[in-house]
Structure 1
Amino acid sequence: MKIILIIGMNTHTIDYTNPELPKGITAEMIEQGTKATVNKLSSIGFQAELFLIDAGTVAPGNLEQLVRRVNYDGIVVGNGIRGVASNFILFEQIINIIHENAPKSKIIFNTLPNNTDEAVKRWL
């Protein structure tokens, strides 16, 4: 079974007043989408794990140790990191951590929360 790491934002630390976010989005909506993504990946034979980063955190915590310890087949960097300008430095840090510490892992980007499985299948 291939193992996928999904890196996203901790929904309880996101500033939902940020105009870059879709109007009306809530922590509950994101959490439901994440749960559906993990379940969908599981149903098609992938083991999906989550790594959530607190908003406003510049250093992504234990990500470096995690990707060194586990040989992920693919690592998804969520749009909440990639698509929000205030997370630009964080996004760069994450890509460099993956590049340096998990060079055999495919780096995967989805275009919507509900097409992560398609992005995973594209690379794996």
Structure 2
Amino acid sequence: MATPTSILIIGLDFQWTAVHRADLINPAVLRGNVQRRIEDLAKVTGLETETLLVNPDKDDALDEIGNKLREGKAGKKWDGVIFGWGMRGIPDTSALFEAMVNRVKDEAPKARFMFTLAQPNHWEAIQRNFPHLKKDE
């Protein structure tokens, strides 16, 4: 059996988003869309994912990311990291996004970087980087 491809999905905490981005998006709709897209990834043979939701107001947010990167998925290094749109698409979290990218580069230098759009497209991002993976129908 082949070793599964492990992907860490990093996004903004939904509660933080509801407080800080409610004027830009409907938090409930966003949460539902993101959760459906992530749940859909369970249909991909040979793929393991884990989601880390970051609260930008926490002083240890970057340490939390670093710890998760070092832990890997069941002790295996991450093959890829998806960065959600919410942290890169809006100026007030640009510094956090830059710091996260650099943390990933330092902690998981062989991981592929993937980026979702405003409309979550996790599977499409994974397909671009890991074309050998196929979704079960």
Name the TM-score, length of structure 2 as normaliser. Answer: 0.78
- Mapped pair 1:95 → 2:104: no
Name the TM-score, length of structure 1 as normaliser. Answer: 0.86
Kindly provide the amino acid, as one letter, of the partner of residue 78 in structure 1: G
Describe how 1:16-31 pairs up with structure 2 within 5 A: 16-18=21-23, 21-22=24-25, 25-26=26-27, 28-31=28-31
| Partner residue in 1 for 2:121 | 115
User: Distance between the aligned counterparts of 1:57 and 1:109, measured in 2?
Assistant: 23
1:65, CA displacement in angstroms? 1.4
Structure 2 counterpart of 1:12, from 11, 15, 23: 15
Kindly provide the amino acid, as one letter, of the partner of residue 110 in structure 2: K
Which structure 1 segments of 5+ residues have no match? none
User: Distance between the aligned counterparts of 1:13 and 1:95, measured in 2?
Assistant: 20
| Partner residue in 2 for 1:63 | 65
User: Distance between the aligned counterparts of 2:11 and 2:65, measured in 1?
Assistant: 11
Q: Secondary structure at the match of 1:56?
A: coil
Kindly provide the amino acid, as one letter, of the partner of residue 12 in structure 1: Q
Count, aligned residues: 119
